[in-house]
Amino acid sequence: MKKFTCAGDIGPWREAVKEALEIKRDRFAHTHLGRNRTLLMLFFNSSLRTRLSTQKAAMNLGMNVMVLDVNQGAWKLETERGVVMDGDKAEHLLEAIPVMGCYCDIIGVRSFAGLKDRESDYQEKVIEQFIRYSGRPVFSMEAATRHPLQSFADLITIEEHKTKERPKVVLTWAPHPKALPQAVANSFCEWIGLTDYDFVITHPHGYELSPQFTGNARVVYDQDAALDGADFVYAKNWSAYAGDNYGKVLSTDRSWTIDSRKMALTDNAMFMHCLPVRRNMIVTDEVIESPQSIVIAEAANREISAQTVLKRMLESL
Ligand code: AN0
Ligand code: CP
């Protein structure tokens, strides 16, 4: 595997989940693969799970790991070509990328959407430049429009917990005070779209996601109706995608918060969220602390999705 930025890069999903579950059963079976290989993880944005789970996955494979927080200690990077660099940015990405490529074998990048210019965000300019100029396999640790390591972990988690062949999975928007990217929701749609699950998306009017990601999924604007009979409730906030509202918070309506009344509409559904989660905005204390909440198991599977991707990349070096 030479790049991992979207669902298409994983190949047949059942095989990928099978390989992931084998890794989970014996995560030290491939420690030889990463010997004398170096992973560079580059963060333009904060992280808890991605940073720790990906580093752990690399260590399970015997790799050496370097982590760089671009905004803490590195030169500020210009990302746009053609800019007269007379401001506070001391280095251009076009030098920084090949330089970083010299010091490692595989690169992971986290670079969120700026949420100001939709076209620029959806062109995935930053991670695409890493793919083009680093000379190394590159994987996304959440880019502007997708978070594939998260979605892969989500799929593994659903496969482990499902009790029906074709579970009903509901992606529901939930309120949040700050503008967040659409990446987690887009990516979840893209990965669940690989399966034959019964998939329903619910959100207030104005929060429509790009059809590029939602595909043929059913959108139901009435959250209660959407939750009816659900087996998995996947909550996430995202800012508006559509038109002039791109990147804006249109609603913080807490009637969309997932609480016990909403969960009672489901078929004893499991509650999922990628974390970090704002309690009593996205989900009540009661629901996230209930036995139906599988958010910790979901986060634990981030190590497994990362290790599966790194293993495949090491095998292709
Ligand atoms: C980020 C987001 O919504 O994309 C990261 C989630 C994994 N969330 C926050 O910034 C709170
Ligand atoms: N879910 C997730 O990617 O978490 P972090 O932002 O903490 O890495």
Distance 205 CA to ligand 2 centre (A): 27
Burial (CB count within 10 angstroms: exposed 0-12, middle 13-18, buried 19+), residue 90:
exposed
Ligand nearest 146 Cα, by number?
1
Q: What is the DSSP letter of 90?
A: -
pTM passes above 0.95: yes
Ligand nearest 275 Cα, by number?
2
pLDDT in tens, 4-21: 999 999 999 999 999 999
Distance of CA 300 to the CA centre of its chain: 14
- The residue whose CA is least distant from atom 4 of ligand 1 is 181
Identify whether the C-beta of residue 297 lies closer than 8 Å to the C-beta of residue 274.
no
Angstrom distance (rounded) from CA 228 to CA 200: 10
Whether 276 is in the pocket of ligand 1, judged by its Cβ within 6 Å, is: yes
Distance 274 CA to ligand 1 centre (A): 8
Angstrom distance (rounded) from CA 68 to CA 250: 34
pLDDT confidence of residue 159: 98
Distance 199 CA to ligand 2 centre (A): 24
Closest CA to 182 of 148, 147, 220, 155: 147
pLDDT confidence of residue 73: 87
Distance of CA 86 to the CA centre of its chain: 35
Token code pair at residue 72: 């803490």
Ligand 2 site residues (CB inside 6 A) read 47-50, 142, 150, 274-276
Radius of gyration over every alpha carbon of the chain, rounded to an integer in angstroms: 20
Identify whether the C-beta of residue 199 lies closer than 8 Å to the C-beta of residue 154.
no
Distance 208 CA to ligand 1 centre (A): 18
Token code pair at residue 297: 């198991």
pLDDT averages per 10-residue partition of the chain, 317 residues: 98 98 98 98 98 98 97 92 96 97 98 97 97 98 99 99 98 98 98 98 98 96 98 99 97 98 98 98 98 99 99 98
Atom of ligand 1 nearest to the CA of 236: 3
Distance 85 CA to ligand 2 centre (A): 32
Nearby residues of 144 by Cβ (< 8 Å), 6 or more positions away? 111, 112, 113, 114, 121, 122, 124, 125, 126, 127, 181, 183
Whether 167 is in the pocket of ligand 1, judged by its Cβ within 6 Å, is: no
Token code pair at residue 22: 């084998």
pLDDT confidence of residue 99: 98
Cα dist. 50→13, 64, 77, 95, 107 in Å? 21, 17, 22, 26, 14
